[in-house]
Amino acid sequence: MPTIDQAKRLVQNRSNIVVLTGAGMSAESGIPTFRQAPRGLWAEYSPEHLATPEAWQADPALVWGWYLWRMGLVRAAVPNAGHVALAMAAETHTIRIVTQNVDDLHERAGSGDVLHLHGGLFAHRCFACARPHGEVAIPDSGTTPMRVEPPRCAHCGGLIRPGVVWFGENLPEAAFTQAVAASAACDLMLVVGTSGIVHPAAGLPLVARDAGAAVVEINPLETELSAVAHVCVRGSAAAVLPEVLG
């Protein structure tokens, strides 16, 4: 396929690569995208209504139960061939991953340079004082009850929340600043499995292109970022990345 050959040549001829990954990157590991309808016990709830500070303050046990369910899904998942290909490519290329995903599949695949723009599902912290909190007990996937009282902070007694960015909250400043700097300095950006509709992350490929980098999109579907890309490869991350990076 000509576009895969073009993408491979770009990878071979570039030394500083940034990879922007979205929900499609993890979907092939069995993690539903955020906008897919919740299943099982959670089918009647909208993620957009649960992932807000207001929802937490109104019913923290409900929101904590929802996130425990999501943690169980992630813990049961394994990195797919796309995650593994990126980790292996870092042995011969300078690769920084900027992800919109809150799971830890990049790290579990072996990638060490990962910026999480939307926080981390397992980076628990206190809602009141923001101090970090250690690991929590995570039920097996599919067995999470509807409501679970969150743990308490050892420092102030506040409720422990997931370390993700909720609707209405700002991105982690340090992570986003580093992501912008990396995008402006790279000579190739791979845009993998993201719809391109969530800002400000969706603006990073344009930052890279304006700075002179080549942009390659890997996605089964045309997206809002397709027009920004120099090369668009239509396929999934697990199918395309091993070939492009191999």
Do the beta carbons of residue 14 and residue 189 sit within 8 Å? no
70 within 8 A of 118, measured Cβ to Cβ: no
Considering the candidates 83, 106, 116, 118, report the single residue annotated as catalytic: 118
Residues contacting 68, CB < 8 A, separation 6+ = 136, 138, 139, 144, 148
Q: Encoding tokens for residue 105? A: 């599949």
- Per-residue H/E/C for 170-236: CCCHHHHHHHHHHHHHCCEEEEECCCCCCCCHHHHHHHHHHCCCEEEEECCCCCCCCCCCCEEECCC
3-state helix, strand, coil in the chain (%, to 5): 35, 20, 45
Establish whether 133 is a catalytic residue.
Answer: no
The residues annotated with a catalytic role in the active site are 118
